[in-house]
Amino acid sequence: MVAIVPLAAQWATGDLPMAAALLIGVAVAAVAVAAFLRLTRSARRTAIGEEGRDSPAVIDPDQDVALERESALEKTIPLRALSVDLPREEGSGGGRGEPQLFCLSGDFSGRRFRVGEQPLSLGRDPTQCSLVFRTDAAEISRKHCSLSYHKGKGIFLLLDHGSSNGTYLRDGRRLEPHKVYELRPGDRFFLSGNRHEFEVRIVE
């Protein structure tokens, strides 16, 4: 059993100063340790901060690739917004070829003419037409009709310019003036009834 000695008795015997000194020493040591730890942490934080400022940033390759992909996606323009018909050559057999106009009957019978994206105009006026009829061909207007070829769609485009005697399709329909009609390779049309017959083809 531990005997509890009153403070007055400890003071009288001289044990109190020694105990107090021991407690003070322990307290001072604890304060010193705490201060040391605090200084150590502060120094470590300062060193880390300086190292972060002086040292180059380390880039994760995977993160860098992800950022590049994200940047590319932001700059990518939707293909649909920029989509257009790409030029392609088509023939009767699906191969390459040149679009041409064949004259089957009439003033230009047996002849053929190249057709491109620029309209090939038919009529009596040499200042407006590329395929020029005789000046006395009264059944043909000064600028009767025009024909062009759409490379992207692989079709011919026929337009009547309000001719007096009309432009006709193979089934007998008369073209409405200033309205574009689509023709496929092998289709035919006529000027002024059936006197002047033409056929559009793709020549291999």
- Per-residue pLDDT at 92: 42
Average pLDDT by stretches of 10, the chain with 204 residues: 50 54 67 69 58 49 49 36 33 66 96 97 97 95 98 96 96 96 98 93 95
Q: Distance (Å, rounded) from C-alpha 139 to C-alpha 124?
A: 10
- Per-residue pLDDT at 60: 54
- Per-residue pLDDT at 88: 36
Q: Distance (Å, rounded) from C-alpha 139 to C-alpha 4?
A: 142
- Per-residue pLDDT at 46: 57
Rg (CA), the chain: 50
Helix or strand holding residue 167 (H, E)? strand 167-169
Closest CA to 196 of 150, 130, 138, 156: 138
Beta strands 131-132 and 120-123, pairing class? parallel
Q: What topology does CATH give the domain 98-203?
A: Tumour Suppressor Smad4 (2.60.200)
